[in-house]
Each structure stands twice: as C-alpha cells, then as structure tokens.
C-alpha cells in the first residue's frame, strides 16, 4: 500500500508534485486538456486544504541543454489555471536559487509551475545532484504521474528517496483500477489485445494468459496467430518469424486454462484507404494481393458473446485498421458492447494505450468505461507484470520512513 498525500496535513507546506502535463499543443495553445483536468481534480482538494503546490512536469523531448522555447511549459499555464480555478505562477527554471525563492514565496493555496524538467540532462539521467536540487523546492514530494512511473528519472525515482514521499490521488486511482482489472479481477475476466505486432507485446500476452480466463486477439497480432495455423496472408501485416512465440503463448494459455479467441472471419481489401472496396472471407481465405484489415461479422459476434459472459474487461489495442472506415467497424462495435455492459453494471472495464484511447474516443464511449488510462508505456509495462521504478521508489520511501 502506497502512502497517500491525501492522508497528511498539507497546510502551509510546499508540496512538490511530479505531474504529467505532456499534452497536445498547436500554435502555442493546448488542444486537449484532458490530462491536465484529471490531474487538477486532486490538486484542487490539496489547495483547499492549504497546500502550496510546486508542479514539475516534462513536455516533449527537447535536446539536452537546448532551451528550445517550443518545449517551454509556460504555454500550459492558461489551461492549468483554468483547471485549478486560480492563477499559476511560473519559474523559468526548475532548479536553482530563483526557483527556490519563488517556491518559498508561495502562500497557502497558491501554485508554482516550473520549467520543463527535460531541459536539464540530469532528469533523464536520474542524476542525484539534480534530484537534490529539485528537493529544495518542496517540503514533501508527491508522484502523481503514473504515466511516467516506468522511467527511472530524477523526478520519478531519485527524488522520492530524498524527502518525505507520497503517492498522489491520480496515481493511486490508476493503480487501483489496474490492480482490480489484472491482479484481482472479478471473474470471468477477458483481455482484448490488438495492435500491429506480436513481438511488441510478447510479455503482455504471456502475462495475461496466465492471469485471465479469456484473451481476444485482434489486428496484425491476430494475423500472426492465423499465419501460425497455416492461413494465407496475402499482403497482410504479419510476423512470419514469431511462429515459435505464438506456440509458447498458446502453451502457457493451455496450462493456465485461458481461452484464446481469434477472428473466424475477416474483412479484406486490396488497398488501405478510406472507403476501399472490401469483402468478408473466412480467416483462412485471404487471397493473394489482398490484406486483412478488420475482424469480420462472425468474429465480432463471437467476441461480443465472450464479453457478455465476463465481469472484467481489460482492453489494449484495436481489432483492425481503426483509423479509417470501414475498417473501424469491429473495434467500434466491440467498444460499444463493452461500454453497454459497463453501464448495465455487468462488467468492470479498464482500457489503456494511445491507439486504444483514440479508438474509444472514435466510438464515443470513453466516458462509459470504468477507467481509461492515458499512460501509454507505463500501462503496457504494468500489463507485462513489471515493477515500475517510480512505484518501487515510493514503496522504498514508505519502508524507510
């Protein structure tokens, strides 16, 4: 159990918060403030209780020691101010005397946003000296950036060992949701795993098939499984060198009693473009010159049946080339089924990953899922069963306290 910042008295204390405010920006304006707004919910509570917030975040991938203004986090202040309901001060550096002076000048309920952590190479290098400089900005440390917890960076790892360290409300919410879906799911439990390559999700699949009752495989990953069974692929995306991996995953599933579900039929086309002429064939009948771009209607019906029998639904990756119609059909329909089961109280649904979030947004069902994670890499490593460095650092700090 991680120590929560919500359980301590924060009045009059400088609360140094590692956030993830790496949001989409165009022409200097935030175009999607979802991540900022979710972060702000818990922070408003701390501000109401008299905390003095000092916020650390990264933005993009600036080159080390290159202070490119395109990566300045100052542009995030309007959206952050609106979400927090008050003015946000700004420090044009994240370490050093001027930043410390600004942090000490804060009054109860006030906020300071510090410049991009990644302007300093000490951040990604997990440099102890840089972490020590950051520690001067606060009295207690809070990690509220689960999406960055898979990185052993100065602000997510080293800093936690230098001062009283706590988990933030958003990080705890994420961990609770993922634990409920993977470590202690209501059964039967199913995972939908899609995407382009089996090779990128070998560890995910091996972990899921030993923990859940069903795994539905879609997208290019399903093609590789079908290829391993001898199905012709035509021009379809697949990995011919992963046949042995498929056999390993299937052996683990058989040993654990997990059922793997593949498409019975598929949608094929000779070109990958919106509105391309297409037809439905059996999964074993992709013709030469064609490519598999979506799961077919029989496959969708079977996947919907599996979901209807399960109490926990975990989703990572689309079923097909969801970016363009009509190859978004199976993904959209299965997403709507999962959303309906969630609304009816019949299932807990947790989804994550960039393409998955985009697909759920496209199907207009994001708000209906029990929890949708915006943590890409961290979500994937959690599915692999890895211990995330940022979480380990908080656990270590709790034991040392």
Active site positions, annotated = 35, 197, 354, 377
Neighbours of 361 (CB within 10 A): 15
Among 134, 169, 168, 173, smallest CA distance to 56 is for 134
Note if the bond before 96 is cis, omega within 30 degrees: no
Q: How far apart are CA 193 and CA 181, in angstroms?
A: 14
- Asked if 137 and 54 touch (Cβ cutoff 8 Å), the reply is yes
Q: How far apart are CA 177 and CA 185, in angstroms?
A: 10
Backbone φ and ψ for 385, nearest 5 degrees, come out as: 85, 15
Q: How far apart are CA 73 and CA 95, in angstroms?
A: 15
First vs last Cα of the chain: how many Å apart? 14
How do strand 89-91 and strand 111-114 relate by DSSP bridges? parallel
207: enclosing H helix or E strand: helix 202-208
- Asked if 336 and 344 touch (Cβ cutoff 8 Å), the reply is no
Q: How far apart are CA 61 and CA 319, in angstroms?
A: 30
Identify the burial level of 190 via C-beta atoms within 10 angstroms of its C-beta, where 0-12 means exposed, 13-18 middle and 19 or more buried: buried
DSSP secondary structure string for all residues of 84-141:
HTS--EEES-SSSHHHHHHHHTPPTT-EEEEP-GGGSTTTTTT-HHHHHHHHTT-SEE
- Asked if 223 and 196 touch (Cβ cutoff 8 Å), the reply is no
- Asked if 145 and 156 touch (Cβ cutoff 8 Å), the reply is yes
Q: Which residues contact 392 (CB under 8 A, 6 or more apart)?
A: none
Among 299, 300, 318, smallest CA distance to 362 is for 318
∠ CA 254-205-216, rounded to 5°? 75
């Amino acid at each position: 159990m991680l120590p929560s910042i919500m359980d301590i008295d924060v009045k009059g204390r400088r609360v140094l918060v590692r956030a993830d405010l790496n949001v989409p920006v165009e022409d200097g304006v935030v175009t999607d403030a979802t991540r900022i707004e979710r972060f702000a919910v818990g922070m408003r509570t701390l501000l109401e209780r008299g905390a003095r917030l000092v916020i650390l975040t990264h933005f993009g991938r600036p080159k080390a020691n290159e202070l490119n203004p395109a990566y300045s986090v100052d542009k995030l202040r309007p959206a952050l101010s609106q979400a927090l309901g008050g003015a946000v001060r700004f420090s044009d550096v994240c370490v050093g005397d001027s930043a410390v002076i600004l942090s000490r000048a804060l009054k109860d309920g006030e906020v300071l946003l510090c410049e991009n952590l990644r302007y300093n190479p000490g951040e990604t290098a997990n440099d102890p000296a840089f972490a020590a400089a950051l520690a001067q900005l606060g009295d207690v440390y809070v990690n509220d950036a689960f999406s960055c917890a898979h990185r052993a960076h100065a602000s997510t790892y080293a800093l936690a060992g230098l001062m009283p360290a706590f988990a933030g409300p958003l990080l705890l919410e994420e961990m609770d949701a993922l634990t409920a879906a993977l470590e202690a799911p209501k059964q039967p439990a199913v995972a939908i795993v899609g995407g382009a390559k089996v090779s990128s999700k070998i560890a995910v699949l091996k972990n899921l098939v030993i923990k859940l009752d069903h795994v539905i495989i879609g997208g290019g990953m399903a093609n590789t499984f079908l290829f391993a069974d001898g199905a012709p692929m035509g021009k379809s995306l697949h990995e011919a060198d992963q046949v042995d991996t498929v056999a390993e995953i299937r052996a683990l599933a058989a040993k654990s009693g997990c059922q793997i579900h593949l498409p019975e039929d598929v949608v094929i086309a000779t070109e990958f473009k919106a509105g391309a002429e297409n037809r439905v064939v059996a999964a074993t009948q992709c013709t030469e010159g064609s490519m598999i771009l979506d799961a077919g209607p029989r496959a969708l019906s079977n996947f919907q049946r599996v979901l209807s029998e399960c109490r926990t639904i975990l989703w990572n990756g689309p079923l097909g080339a969801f970016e363009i119609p009509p190859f978004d059909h199976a993904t959209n329909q299965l997403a709507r089924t999962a959303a309906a089961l969630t609304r009816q109280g019949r299932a807990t649904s947790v989804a994550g990953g960039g393409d998955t979030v985009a697909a759920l947004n496209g199907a207009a069902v994001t708000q209906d899922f029990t929890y949708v994670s915006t943590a890409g890499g961290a979500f994937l490593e959690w599915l692999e069963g890895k211990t995330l460095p940022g979480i380990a650092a908080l656990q270590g700090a709790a034991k040392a306290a």
